[in-house]
Amino acid sequence: YTLAHDGPAEKVKNVEAICLNVELCIKPEVREEFLDVIRNNKEGSDKEPLCLQYSWGENENTPNTFHFHEEYIGEEGLAAHNAAPHFAVWEEFASKGSPFAKPPIVHKFKALLD
């Protein structure tokens, strides 16, 4: 996929973290609203002290299919993200109507130390 924002200035080391890999397939008619909401979520996530990484981009072969990789310091980091105002905007978008072309796929895992 193509990263939709600037990448990190240096390589990200593998640290113990709670991680999410997410695939979202968005209906074309809500694409622009989705992009606004996700850009807001990225901006807010980058300010969270317990969020180590929030990267996203669009699949190069399948339009309106987006991939995310998120890393948080412990379950408390993920809980703080889920309680943040920018995440509430995402939840509002995701719950109104039916913005998804197919159900979201979420993989949660624990990254291990190098």
Measured CA distances, 101 to 59, 74, 84, 107 (Å): 14, 31, 26, 19
pTM: 0.85
Percent of the chain residues topping a pLDDT of 90: 81
Residue 81, exposed/middle/buried by CB under 10 A (0-12, 13-18, 19+)?
A: buried
Residue from 110, 86, 114, 91 nearest 14 by CA: 114
Average pLDDT over residues 23-30: 98
Average pLDDT over residues 93-99: 93
